[in-house]
Amino acid sequence: MSPPSPPVPFNLSRTFALTSLGLIVVMACGLGWLMSQVLTSRMLQREGEVSMDFVQNLLLTDGSAGFLANPDDADLKARFLNSMAHVASMREPVRANAYRADGTVVWSTDVTLIGRRYPVNDELDDALQGRLVVHSGRTDVGQPDKAEHVGLDRYASYFVESYIPILDKRDGRIMGVMELYKIPVQLNAAIRDALWQLWLACAASAAALFGSLYWLVARADRVMRNQQHRLTEAQTLSTAVELAGAVAHNLRNPLASIRVSAEMMQLGDLPDSERTEHAGDITAAVDRADRWITELVRVSQAPQLQPELVRPAQVLRACLQELQPEMTRRGVQWTMPEGEAPGVRAHTAMLRQILVSIIANAIDAMPSGGNLVVTWAPVGHMLTVQLRDTGVGIDEKARAALFRPFFSTKSGGLGIGLALVKRMVEHWQGTIALEPVPAGGTCVVLTLPLAAPFDTES
């Protein structure tokens, strides 16, 4: 199985554009719908209030409203019918009904409805409680909602009905309800124009809000990218300066040794033993410079190494056996668990160099002998490897700077070893840390991701 692909760089401008555009469109549509509902309801309510003022003034001025409470009174009936003639002559109402307090139709422009009662009429029930009720509906969506709507579809599909309570001026009791059905052509046109303006305003506001926010975020993104680019250039220049200084400082001594040895060899009449000694010094200096150059090359090539399945126990044993002669010479003993550790995602050759570097540092920290204990344990999706020595330890200040490039506690070191270790471990999505040992010494904690996907292929 191929290793996981690197994460896609985060594009702030594109992410913000998509997210903010979606949110602004949803908010604009929601706000537009809510405002359109409020606007339509308010305009219809205002239309109903105007109709209520007209009807109440008409019926209460001449006292004809008493007919709703006393339908058998001939004088009240005559005055009421005279008032309703004015209502019937109005242009907008296509139907008008007058209800008694018990819900019976006592008058209607449709004479077939007089004397009827409708058991289910929530709007009429609310109006009989003294509230103005304005309700709109359509008659072209199937069967009418209420029986009293039958026949309205011959006028228009959209209608507005207003239930106007008629109250007694003396005691405020409900005498009846006047119902007006209207086809509000002019009102519909006004509402339609207002809704168009409302939706255009919402769209323009959403576009302006999105444009201004996107411009701010895009500008901030460009500024951050430019600052990041300049910071990267500054870090690169700083690293190059430190690298040049470290290389110049550390190569000066080998070159000086080579020069001195070469000048001595140019002198005549040197014994063979001195000539051989100078030649050995030249070889040693060249080998030391070559090791530093090789280490620099590893730093530049490390990120190009692709992770693979690695058996850490096998690599650990190979490294310990390789350094066994040096440990035997210094009296260092090592132990590690039997068996195999879970596979990890790393690079075999690079992990071997890392472990060799760590173990070599541990050996250098125990010049008079000691113990090196290696343990491991899986923790979640990671494998934790600990290498604990009983050496002289590292002080807090040096431990904090030990993983920085070109920092070394050794007089002859280039200071790239542990920096390379940290760089590679983080490239594998792992971690490395140094922890002090209470009894003396240092514990290197190396955490690497388990390679479960690779195990199925091994």
Question: Is the domain 226-301 a CATH 1.10.287.130 member?
Answer: yes
Poorest-confidence range of 93-97, 152-156, 444-448?
152-156
pTM of the predicted protein model: 0.44
pLDDT at 293 over 50: yes
Task: Determine the CATH number of domain 92-183.
Answer: 3.30.450.20
pLDDT at 102: 87
pLDDT at 412: 39
Confidence of residue 313 (pLDDT cuts 50, 70, 90): very high
The predicted pLDDT at position 420 comes to 66
* Percent over 70 (pLDDT), the chain: 76
Q: Give the number of other CB atoms < 10 A from CB of residue 218.
A: 15
Q: Across-strand partners of 373?
A: 335, 388
pLDDT at residue number 173: 84
pLDDT at 375: 93
Tell me the pLDDT tens digit for each residue of 165-208: 988 877 878 888 888 887 776 767 777 788 888 888 888 988 89
Query: Does the structure show a pLDDT above 70 at 3?
Result: no
Question: Would you state the structure tokens that stand for residue 450, as one six-digit string?
Answer: 């388990």
Domain at 306-455: CATH architecture: 2-Layer Sandwich (3.30)
φ/ψ of residue 165, rounded to 5: -70, 140
The yes-or-no verdict on residue 448 having pLDDT over 90 is yes
- The answer on pLDDT for 279 being more than 60 is yes
Mean pLDDT rounded to a whole number for the chain: 78
Residue 447 has pLDDT above 90, yes or no: yes
Q: 252 or 144, which is more confident? A: 252
CA angle at 230 for the pair 9 and 8, rounded to the nearest 5° = 5
pLDDT band per the 50, 70, 90 thresholds, residue 296: low
pLDDT digits (tens, 9 = 90+) for 342-401: 999 888 877 887 888 788 878 888 888 899 999 999 988 999 999 999 887 776 655 554
For residue 416, the model assigns a pLDDT of: 46
Distance from C-alpha of 193 to C-alpha of 187, rounded to nearest angstrom:
10
Res 457: pLDDT = 41
pLDDT at position 147 is: 53
pLDDT at 113 over 50: yes
The pLDDT of residue 449:
92
Q: Residue 409's pLDDT is what? A: 44
pLDDT in tens, 71-106: 888 888 888 888 888 777 776 667 888 898 888 888
pLDDT in tens, 173-183: 888 888 888 77
Residue 455 pLDDT exceeds 50: no
Of residues 141 and 415, more confidence is placed in 141
Domain ranges of the chain: 92-183, 226-301, 306-455
